[in-house]
Chains A and B, each alone.
Chain A
């Protein structure tokens, strides 16, 4: 049995963190696409890159932040509204967490308080075990 590799879009502006996340996800069997701003992320999606799951930081390069991206992706008319989103951010203010969860993100992690493998294990547990 060969497991299908999931593709994940990682949105994170801090380069060192982005590299670490990318490396760990690839080690864990994901195809990784990275973006450092909201526009970059939307470009990938519009280009038709097949994304199974999104890893999202709150602060991103440029004026738009993670919340702006989520509000677009989860809009009623959005073709991407079913993609699960995992927010991984250090700005854990309650109202932000509440906003994210209201928009329908799957889960919220505080970077400093979680290990990468914990977060990745949660994501993997959430995704259905698809076979080729």
Chain B
């Protein structure tokens, strides 16, 4: 068995044993404690309710007494019916009886009986005249306050109880009886009250004959005065000794007197096992029984045990996990040690046992490593010597073989190479291009006819001189730089620069420079091929200058047309009619397009001449986009486009030329608006990425046809599908945008599908644009 499993098993078994033991004790103690708490609750609750019932009855008795003692009762009883005062007093007493009824909702009749037993007044006038002479509340009520136990009242079988008190004259003579009849609702409430021991808790009253007088929780009100019970509680309660004790002393000390806990475990009237207690109520000779089903108490105990058991299981699980982790920590280094030992045993002396702990196991690991290292040193000493001797023998043999082969090869190659070299040399010699060989330091070593023609120097007069002889002084640094690069093994291709002829005139050349290497790859010199590009340069320059000049010259007449059209439209030369105004507006609009075209052409020429300036300053791209969307608002509204934007709220300001960025975003946005049909959507996102800011403009527009997507950034190009549509455009916008973005080390690309839409992506590095001096800015 592994160490880990051993540790785990032992601990688990002892843990389970301890937990079980603890569980057993806790179970026993909690059960006992719960039982005693429930008993004492049951007892206290029963006695408290009984006291409440007693007080309630005492209160009602005193209410009856106080009422009967009122002077208006006495006056009424003393006034003869024949007297003139009688009707007034009768009215007064009737009112009084009705008012009495209003003081207690359980009171349903207040009446007065005269000494002949006849009802003479009542809150219920239909009762007046009834003969009550045989009723015990008349008979006993004459003698003093009397509580009439719960009974069925005739004729409606209403369950009620009554209180009677004598009405007395000034000398203590009895004049009549005042009776108050109640329904026992409040008594029910007092007895039943709130349940605290569970659903099966029940409190009810029985009378002297052991009949229910308050409802049973299980059988309802139908049991009242109809069902008799013969349970242990009921019998104990009416034990004469207990009755007598309570009548004299109340409930205190009863436990000692009866010599038991007063808690009974038995069966109730349903024949269900219960735990219960009782209290005798002497005032009315009732008994209050309180009980609860024993099964409910057991359920409570079972629930407690389940909670405890599940906690034990949880604790055990936790213990297992922790134990597993701990044992892993202990056993891992041991395992490593044993694995390491096995590897080393197989002969791998380079293996290092990786134990970083500072305990005994760590020490063991380190000693192991030391031992292995010593072993390795000893071994390698022997091995090295054997190896050295073997390889010396092999080397000697192969060197001999190689020498032989090489000699044979050389003899063959010399003839071929000789012919090849002569052939190549003759091509180079007669080439149109200047082909120049020089040392790594720039000393000219070869100079062909092309070079002689281009620079005016003869081969023999320039050979051995520095290459700088054919450069104007401002290009010396450039030459050093080129030589340095080539010496590093790099090539330079089609580099446009300026060189100087022998007569001092300057010449535009395109040069390609490459290192010359020997067969071993070592750089032994530098070769340069130069082409005269004066003509191309001139044509290019003439072309762009033409555009630039033409644009300037065009702007003056365009301004004149603009301004005059503006003045005419403003009515400066008299009011125009509607038609005139419309035509003139067309002239004005057409001219504006021309101005835009000229501005674009100027921008293109500046880009191509390299004369545009870049003036970076901290700029917020979102502000630019917002202001551009504002400018486009009327067009967006007119085409009913939905424009959504997602602008990064935390977008940092970046160092870019705001004019250039404005031009980039303006072109993307106006393209999206222009080339999206009515009711389309345009989404503008500007978000920060790792090292750049991404501008994304997506539309649901006409799209770019697949076969023309590669031409979209070409100057003056407009896709077929939009040329057919009624849209204006110069075909210069995206060309300018691409030039500006790439000048800023950014990237531009797009995704597009015809009639579905186009998404343009532009990234601008967070580092911003580099400043560039220029004579013109782009408009």
Question: Which A residues are closer than 8 A to B by beta carbons?
Answer: 14, 16-17, 20-21, 23-24, 27, 90-95, 110-113, 115-117
Whether A112 and B598, one on each chain, are in contact in the complex, defined by CB atoms closer than 8 angstroms, is: yes
Whether A20 and B552, one on each chain, are in contact in the complex, defined by CB atoms closer than 8 angstroms, is: no
Interface residues on B, range: 20 to 34
List, in ascending order, chain B residues with CB within 8 A of A95's CB: 775
Which residue of B has the minimal Cβ distance to A91?
Answer: B552
List, in ascending order, chain A residues with CB within 8 A of B572's CB: 23-24, 27
List, in ascending order, chain B residues with CB within 8 A of A21's CB: 563
Whether A92 and B777, one on each chain, are in contact in the complex, defined by CB atoms closer than 8 angstroms, is: yes
Contacts A112-B559, A113-B595 supplied; 9 other A-B pairs, CB < 8 Å: A17-B560, A20-B563, A24-B572, A90-B555, A90-B556, A92-B779, A112-B599, A116-B563, A117-B570
Can you give 19 A-B contacts (C-beta < 8 A)?
A14-B556, A17-B556, A17-B559, A20-B560, A20-B567, A21-B563, A23-B572, A27-B572, A90-B559, A91-B552, A93-B777, A94-B775, A111-B562, A112-B555, A112-B559, A112-B595, A113-B599, A117-B566, A117-B570
List, in ascending order, chain B residues with CB within 8 A of A111's CB: 555-556, 559, 562
List, in ascending order, chain B residues with CB within 8 A of A17's CB: 556, 559-560, 563
Whether A113 and B564, one on each chain, are in contact in the complex, defined by CB atoms closer than 8 angstroms, is: no
A63 to B599, CA, bound (A): 27
Task: Return A11 CB to nearest CB of chain B, in Å.
Answer: 15
Interface residues in B569-589 by Cβ distance below 8 A to A read: 570, 572
Interface status of B774 (Cβ within 8 A of chain A): yes
List, in ascending order, chain A residues with CB within 8 A of B559's CB: 17, 90, 111-112
Question: Which B residues are closer than 8 A to A by beta carbons?
Answer: 552, 555-556, 558-560, 562-564, 566-567, 570, 572, 595, 598-599, 613, 615, 774-777, 779
List, in ascending order, chain A residues with CB within 8 A of B564's CB: 16, 20
Task: Return A87 CB to nearest CB of chain B, in Å.
Answer: 14
Which residue of B has the minimal Cβ distance to A16?
Answer: B560
List, in ascending order, chain B residues with CB within 8 A of A14's CB: 556, 560
The answer, among B567, B595, B774, for a CB contact under 8 Å with A24, is: B567
User: What are the 6 closest A-B residue pairs judged by CB atoms, nearest first?
Assistant: A111-B559, A90-B555, A20-B563, A112-B555, A16-B560, A94-B777
List, in ascending order, chain A residues with CB within 8 A of B777's CB: 92-94
Whether A115 and B566, one on each chain, are in contact in the complex, defined by CB atoms closer than 8 angstroms, is: yes
Task: Return B771 CB to nearest CB of chain A, in Å.
Answer: 12
Task: Return A116 CB to nearest CB of chain B, in Å.
Answer: 5
Which residue of A has the minimal Cβ distance to B571?
Answer: A27
Most buried by A among B559, B613, B774: B559
Most buried by A among B563, B775, B776, B779: B563
Which residue of A has the minimal Cβ distance to B567?
Answer: A24
A97 to B566, CA, bound (A): 26
List, in ascending order, chain B residues with CB within 8 A of A90's CB: 552, 555-556, 559
A116 to B570, CA, bound (A): 11
List, in ascending order, chain A residues with CB within 8 A of B776's CB: 92-94
Task: Return B36 CB to nearest CB of chain A, in Å.
Answer: 98
A23 to B572, CA, bound (A): 8
A94 to B775, CA, bound (A): 6
The answer, among A16, A27, A94, A115, for a CB contact under 8 Å with B613, is: A94
Whether A94 and B779, one on each chain, are in contact in the complex, defined by CB atoms closer than 8 angstroms, is: no
Task: Return B600 CB to nearest CB of chain A, in Å.
Answer: 12
Task: Return A75 CB to nearest CB of chain B, in Å.
Answer: 26
Task: Return A62 CB to nearest CB of chain B, in Å.
Answer: 17
A21 to B566, CA, bound (A): 11
Whether A115 and B779, one on each chain, are in contact in the complex, defined by CB atoms closer than 8 angstroms, is: no
Whether B598 and A93, one on each chain, are in contact in the complex, defined by CB atoms closer than 8 angstroms, is: no
List, in ascending order, chain A residues with CB within 8 A of B599's CB: 112-113
Which residue of A has the minimal Cβ distance to B570?
Answer: A117
Whether B775 and A112, one on each chain, are in contact in the complex, defined by CB atoms closer than 8 angstroms, is: no
List, in ascending order, chain B residues with CB within 8 A of A20's CB: 560, 563-564, 567
List, in ascending order, chain A residues with CB within 8 A of B779's CB: 92, 110, 113
Whether B555 and A116, one on each chain, are in contact in the complex, defined by CB atoms closer than 8 angstroms, is: no
